[in-house]
Amino acid sequence: MEFDLENPLPFSTDNFPSLFSAEIHHMPSKTYLQTLISSSSSTNNLPIRREIPSSILHISRQSDPFLPYLAVNYMDRFLSAHSIPDGKPWIFRLVAVSCVSLALKMRQTELSVSDLADNDGGLIFNSATIERMEMLILGALKWRMRSVNPFSFLNYFVSLFDSGDEARSIQALKNRGTQIIFKSQKDIKLLEFKPSIISASALLVASHEFFPIQFQPFRDAICSCSYVIKEELLHCYDVMAAAAGLLTPANVLDFSCSFSETEQSN
């Protein structure tokens, strides 16, 4: 069965509660972001976190955007458990190719590992080398390849949006939220947030752009969700708004003030 990022647990009978419960197991380690931030030399993880996703995007340029998104998720979870030795830059590309190869297998596309090696335009790895790296990555992932991700929560949070029964509004909100999630993945600050918070924040930014009148009730509905920590939502919203090019002092102030008003009324 092809892996659908919006439905990573197709056999679950209580899908959304299961997703919220499982998402913490599909994130990088808690120390990963701090390790990236504290890095300062050219041989550490921060340049690696920039270089490998660039390679993943280049390798996946002929695929849909969900493939590289999944591959970068694998990469972050792997790098949070394993450091790459200095002086071996070729390993960066091997990790990139192997993460894309695993994502290809999950997405069941027509592309193959040999297609990646032939089209990469750089160092070519044989299948045995790629398979060995895949096994190392899978060990770091604990074989959890059906990643619970921000796309998995879009339908849940969209259901809280009052569109006046206009299906086109719902689809427009979801489409824009999807675009914002794709665009923001390169921002390392998002690594501290759970996928559900990233999803909710992206939809709030989309609502602010497309449906400003519904923004406040939509925000209140999300904040009332038992799975959402309001402070995390506020912080993540700022990051997502900046990634979407929406962030201005007025925007942040509006959200922060209305957030405080909601707190006082509760």
Which structural domains are found in the chain, ordered by start? 27-141 (1.10.472.10), 150-265 (1.10.472)
Question: Distance (Å, rounded) from C-alpha 37 to C-alpha 15?
Answer: 35
Decide if 230 contacts 197 (C-beta within 8 A). no
Could you give the dihedral angle defined by the CA atoms of residues 47, 53, 59 and 61, in that order, rounded to the nearest 10 degrees?
-130
And the tokens for 104?
A: 């290809």
SS3 39: coil
Question: Distance (Å, rounded) from C-alpha 178 to C-alpha 45?
Answer: 28
Question: Distance (Å, rounded) from C-alpha 257 to C-alpha 133?
Answer: 49
Q: What angle do CA 160, 165, 170 make, to 5 degrees?
A: 55
pLDDT tens-digit profile, the chain (266 residues): 578 898 888 766 568 899 999 999 999 998 998 888 876 554 456 678 888 888 898 888 888 899 999 999 999 999 999 887 776 778 888 999 999 999 999 987 666 666 655 555 555 788 899 999 999 999 999 999 999 999 999 999 999 998 776 788 899 999 999 999 999 998 999 999 999 999 999 999 999 999 999 999 999 999 999 999 999 999 999 999 988 887 554 455 455 555 555 555 55
* Residue 227 CB contacts under 8 Å (≥ 6 apart), including other chains: 20, 196
Neighbours of 37 (CB within 10 A): 14
DSSP state of 100: H
Q: How far is CA 81 from CA 31, 148, 195, 217, in A?
A: 10, 18, 19, 40
DSSP state of 190: G
For residue 205, the model assigns a pLDDT of 96
Q: What angle do CA 226, 220, 215 make, to 5 degrees?
A: 140
And the tokens for 181?
A: 């999630």
Phi, psi of 191 (to 5 degrees): -65, -20
Distance between terminal CA atoms of the chain? 45
Question: Distance (Å, rounded) from C-alpha 142 to C-alpha 256?
Answer: 39
Could you give the dihedral angle defined by the CA atoms of residues 149, 155, 159 and 164, in that order, rounded to the nearest 10 degrees?
130
DSSP H stretches of helix in the chain: 15-22, 32-38, 45-59, 66-79, 90-107, 113-119, 127-141, 154-158, 167-184, 195-210, 212-223, 230-243, 249-265
> pTM of the full predicted structure?
0.87
